[in-house]
Amino acid sequence: MSAAVPPVDVPTRPGGAPRITLIDAASAGLLLRQHFSSGDPGPVIASLAHVPELVGPTLPFLGAVLGPSWIPAREKEIVILRTSAVMGCRYCTEAHSVVALDSGLNVREVRALRGELPVGDVFTAEEERALVAWCDAVAQGAEADIRQARQVLDVDDARLVELTLLVATTVMLNRYATALALPTSLDVRERLLREDL
């Protein structure tokens, strides 16, 4: 099931510039300043700040789906990183390669999720291979693949709903980040170089 995903090589615009101006603390509206109080909030918030009325409902939703839950951080990062690689999102794949390392995945596992190594050669646990197959099927949207992946993913309905919403939310963010050519932070790029990723 988990077919090889081509390594992510999605170029940004010439020079790596985003397609919009990212709002900074000096330009942020009064109601958004809390998000800039600790410095750069990252390109997702800095881009959403163009439409302040979307920040209020969007950030709690993203926090609920992507944040801590009863699904372990390692498992969440398998889902987010694999989905981002399948969708070809440079920004999310780079950012979540680092988050995945910090969540307990090793460099070989990150490489496999990014499509640089065969998943079956790196992930030996059947549950994790089934999870990757679920990510691939849901992200790509083929009903036959989803049906087949569900047969091997041994989870209850509540966990399936949360995992599926995690894939779907990641796809949404992948499209958003790719369409706006959001930039990867210098810290992330430096970490990827140190890890030879």
> What is the residue-level pLDDT of the chain in tens, covering all 197 positions?
455 555 444 444 445 789 999 999 998 888 899 999 888 899 999 999 999 999 999 999 999 999 999 999 999 999 999 999 999 999 999 999 999 999 999 999 999 999 999 999 999 999 999 999 999 999 998 888 898 999 999 999 999 999 999 999 999 999 999 999 999 999 999 999 999 99
CB 97 within 8 A of CB 192: yes
CA distance linking residue 5 with residue 117, whole number of Å: 9
CB 139 within 8 A of CB 86: yes
Q: Catalogue all structural domains in the chain, each as residue range(s) with its CATH number.
A: 16-66 (no CATH), 73-194 (1.20.1290.10)
CA distance linking residue 163 with residue 151, whole number of Å: 15
Other Cβ atoms less than 10 A from the Cβ of 43: the count is 21
CA distance linking residue 127 with residue 14, whole number of Å: 41
Considering Cα of 3, then 141, then 158, then 109, what sign does the dihedral take?
positive
Considering Cα of 22, then 26, then 30, then 36, what sign does the dihedral take?
positive
* pTM to 2 decimal places: 0.89
